[in-house]
A = this chain, B = another copy of it.
């Protein structure tokens, strides 16, 4: 494909992309294909001779589109959003044009430096404490990684090695590669336990598996709004210690996956000060984007007591997946663990110590140019445009919550609209006080209603189980979300609930 063929192909692709978004609402949000649909539609292998673009492009509509779930669709209300935007797409176009495996500064200085600059911009927008800025005296800073789960593995492993190094030093081991030191390090690792809310995203438990440490969940019951309190965390820490285990890491959640619960960050900050060996990470993967609105910025106050923080700009900040921002108070905590510099990676800039080599802040070596799309999004929307977008989602959440409240004969809100997410159950009774208290029956009804709506495939919604309660989760916070679709999903739920309650 030469330049002029590419120009033609790309212009045609742009037309198709615009057409896709302009007609998105008329497509079904969920595909109707069955597992294994694609293989019979494609040849057994690649062609011997190259094909022309029009032939390839035609297959996108023919074989790919029927198998897509449309996350940008206004009827997508599942999980959390993974928002795309036009400036985000432009960012990916340039990023792939400037392809580089930019692991070191010299591999493409702009890739490293734009990342540092725009992550400082984002930290300021979120009102994060200054300790997370790249020019903070303590040596903090931000990095873009792929996903929150990748970030959390990075934090857990760095936390594990930080406490191992500290203990070895305290015990007088001066050469960490000596066999005795390795033995002792293994013993220390063997007693470590990572902690997270029972409602923390599963990525914390998975990170503990990857890091090879134990994992314990901290209880966060319904009467605490499914949030971890200081006393709950403290008692879990002490219970671990009583068993001879060493808690070394805790994920505090700002916006849990189940209900968008926010752990008691003020209280947890006090615990963090009492147990300085525990690395506290704040996972604000989805809800963190709301911190760009001043009405949420009181939440960032306690964060200077924590080691690290992340939010997925690809969830709610209109930056196309993947773009997870990870901030640390001390980048040395990362580089002490992840830096390895074989001869083939040495260069005078790295040796000078004047540059950031982000490879030493992360698990993979190579890195994409992900800051471009973030830069384009921030500039295209501006701070006000992004705040407006976040507030639209919040308002739609409150609107849905109000609709649910309007039908106490059918529904009970389990957790009210928080960061655009409402969870609710189908009520077993008739809405009269004390008539809705049969949990098993409520769970059965709610599951039946969820399955009915799920099978209709008109909307993409998800359910969960939180503290033994089966809930339907509705979150409508992508760019094409509108009140009329929220109204529609509600009516669909009402019809389903009426049928289920009538036993139809």
Q: Pick from A55, A100, A183 the residue with the most CB of B within 10 Å.
A: A100
Given known A-B contacts A39-B113, A363-B363, A79 and B101 have beta carbons under 8 A apart: yes
Chain B residue numbers with a CB within 8 Å of A147 are 101, 364-366
Q: How far is the CB of A307 from chain B (nearest CB, A)?
A: 18
With an 8 A cutoff between CB atoms, is A464 at the interface? yes
**A49-86 to B contact mask, C-beta < 8 Å, 1/0:** 11101011000100111111111100000010011111
| Copies of this chain, tallied across the complex | 2
The 8 A CB mask of A410-433 against B (1 = contact, 0 = none) is: 000000000000000000000000
Q: Are B365 and A203 in touch, CB under 8 angstroms?
A: yes
Residues of chain B within 8 A (CB-CB) of A5 are 86
Residues from chain B with Cβ under 8 Å of A106 in the complex:
30, 69
Bound-complex Cα distance A290 to B145 (A): 30
Question: In the docked arrangement, what's the CA distance between A415 and B148, Å?
Answer: 43
Question: Is A275 in the interface zone, CB < 8 Å from B?
Answer: no
| Stretch from A218-226, A264-272, A375-383, A495-503 forming part of the interface with B | A375-383
Contact residue among B105, B117, B153, B187 (Cβ-Cβ distance under 8 Å from A35)? B105
Closest to A145 in B: B364
A337-350 contact mask (Cβ, 8 Å, vs B): 1 or 0 = 11011111100110
- A14, A36, A42: which has the most chain B beta carbons within 10 Å? A14
A166 to B343 Cα, complex, angstroms: 38
Q: Once the chains are docked, how many angstroms separate the CA of A69 from the CA of B81?
A: 35
Cα A182 to Cα B380 in complex, Å, equals 51
Contact across chains for B96 and A35 when beta carbons are under 8 A apart: no
Q: Report, nearest first, the 3 A-B pairs whose CB atoms are least far apart.
A: A186-B190, A67-B110, A84-B99
Listed A/B pairs (20) with beta-carbon separation below 8 Å: A1-B380, A31-B108, A33-B110, A35-B354, A45-B124, A47-B378, A48-B384, A50-B381, A51-B382, A56-B376, A67-B111, A69-B100, A69-B106, A72-B99, A84-B99, A101-B314, A179-B243, A189-B189, A257-B344, A344-B463
Q: Is the CB of A89 within 8 A of B363?
A: no
A305 at the interface (CB under 8 A from B): no
In the complex, whether A399 has a CB less than 8 A from a CB of chain B is: no
